[in-house]
Amino acid sequence: MKLLKSIISVALIAIITLFSANTADAQIKFGLKAGAAINDLKFDSDIFGKENRAGFTGGLMLEFTVPLIGLGFDASAMYVHRTVNMDNTEDFGSLADEEIDDLGRDYIDIPINLKYKLSLPGIGSVVKPFVTTGPSFAFLVSKKDVNNFIKNKSCDIAWNFGFGIELFSHVQVAASYGLGLTNSLEFVGLTGHKESIEGKNRYWTVTAAYLF
């Protein structure tokens, strides 16, 4: 809970600071964003073998930028489907070695990023590179139970680091890496098995957005 409060406080302070600046010429844009999400679960035990798989994401995006300094933020409301194949090992006894559980999870993800755009002399109106960073709050909308020993958690918090380019002031192509800060999965136990296993998300997201 303390970690969550700290993340929210940092994000709010950054946003308030930007709005408190001279924003007479500030630009506010909104649009659509879609792309692919490649998930990688990091467990605190090597009891599982896994195969990463690509999911998908899509939703709405809002961007606020102060042109003279190129600093601003963007916020999105995205539907995200994340999945990974996990091979159960012999440690689970009654479960076959080749049994594969598809850990498909659906979220409403709300990333809030600080964004800095670099204006290049002569071509700034055509191409602008940018970098982003900020927290992401993903709320589970699919079922919690994966099977009889793994459950999804209701909220997954991550910190994102991203980069991209803006084309003709409307199209943005970006890639970001999400570093999970909370456990998105938990091992709830089998009869006679007492080991506790928890997993955090690590994921790449590649998106394209059109802003009006």
Q: How confident is the model at residue 30 (pLDDT cuts 50, 70, 90)?
A: very high
Which one, of 43, 144, 142, 48, lies nearest residue 95 by Cα? 48
Please state the domain extents for the chain.
2-211
Residue 95, pLDDT score: 43
Q: How confident is the model at residue 90 (pLDDT cuts 50, 70, 90)?
A: very low
Pick the CATH number of 2-211 from 3.40.50.620, 3.30.460.10, 2.40.160.20, 1.10.3720.10: 2.40.160.20
pTM of the model: 0.80
| pLDDT digit string, tens, across residues 12-22 | 666 656 555 55
Asked if residues 37 and 205 have their Cβ atoms less than 8 Å apart, the reply is yes
Enumerate residues 6+ apart whose C-beta is below 8 A from 177.
160, 161, 162, 202, 203, 204, 205
By percentage, how much of the chain surpasses pLDDT 70?
67
Handedness of CA 56, 12, 167, 175 (dihedral sign): negative
Residue 94, pLDDT score: 44
Distances (CA, A) of 185 to 41, 54, 56, 152: 9, 18, 19, 5
| pLDDT digit string, tens, across residues 114-160 | 999 998 888 888 999 999 999 999 999 988 776 666 778 899 999 99
